[in-house]
């Protein structure tokens, strides 16, 4: 079956019957090659392991992503400053040994439990606690139209790359500016790939 929607450009059937033709648009999940019909096999053949459909169906596939970047933005981001606290946990009780509270006015914390390794058959009802305090700060950003356009294009391209399987080559890319005014820039990146759509599915 097809794992993506696309336009079929090449079919190579090793075993089975093709269900689509070159130039046809297929949807995700559509049957591409049907396995051989067991009713048409003789008795000797039926004693062999069950046949499966095999082959390649290469097609043009499109992916796209959109991103909006404002020209003026107030947001909260990490400053790069980090503090670490250590503690001990007995059941539900936690005793901090160092840095009990965050040293930052604004921030978030990440807690990691460090269980002690069992010794022989003994298990210790004590856990080590590591708390990472990450400082956050409010920033005011003002971008030019060109800067916002570049950021939107980069972000949209990164989102598209996440959708394309590893090692699948991109044969064409198109960048479309959907909105470009004094408030924001909206960009869509579309890419075209040439890939094998066929994946096995149980019937």
Report whether pLDDT(59) > 90: yes
Q: Which residues contact 93 (CB under 8 A, 6 or more apart)?
A: none
User: In the prediction, which pLDDT does 162 show?
Assistant: 94
Report whether pLDDT(169) > 50: yes
* Own/partner long-range contacts of 166-174 (Cβ < 8 Å, ≥24 apart): 168/193, 168/195, 169/193, 169/194
Cα–Cα distance list, 62 to 19, 27, 125 (Å): 22, 12, 55
Report whether pLDDT(45) > 60: no
Per cent of the chain over pLDDT 70 is 89
Cα 52 → chain centroid: 30
CB 71 within 8 A of CB 142: yes
Q: What is the pTM of this model?
A: 0.69
Lowest mean pLDDT segment, chosen from 3-7, 48-52, 55-59, 124-128:
48-52
Give the model's confidence band at 44: pLDDT under 50 very low, under 70 low, under 90 confident, else very high: very low
CB 2 within 8 A of CB 197: yes
Instruction: Give SS3 for 15.
Output: strand
């Amino acid at each position: 079956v097809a794992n993506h929607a696309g336009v079929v450009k090449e079919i190579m059937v090793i075993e089975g019957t093709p269900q689509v033709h070159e130039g046809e648009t297929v949807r995700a999940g559509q049957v591409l090659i049907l396995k051989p019909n067991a009713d048409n096999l003789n008795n000797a053949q039926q004693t062999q392991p069950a046949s499966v459909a095999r082959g390649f169906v290469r097609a043009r596939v499109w992916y796209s992503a959109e991103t909006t970047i404002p020209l003026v933005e107030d947001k909260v981001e990490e400053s790069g400053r980090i503090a670490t606290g250590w503690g001990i946990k007995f059941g539900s009780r936690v005793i901090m040994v160092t840095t009990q509270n965050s040293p930052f006015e604004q921030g978030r914390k990440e807690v990691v439990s460090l269980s002690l390794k069992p010794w022989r058959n003994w298990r210790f009802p004590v856990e080590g606690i590591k708390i990472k305090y990450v400082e956050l700060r409010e920033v005011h950003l003002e971008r030019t139209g060109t800067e916002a356009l570049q950021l939107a294009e980069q972000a949209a391209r990164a989102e598209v790359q996440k959708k394309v399987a590893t090692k699948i080559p991109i044969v064409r890319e198109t960048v479309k500016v959907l909105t470009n005014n004094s408030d924001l820039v909206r960009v869509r990146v579309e890419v075209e790939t040439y890939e094998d759509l066929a994946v096995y599915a149980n019937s």
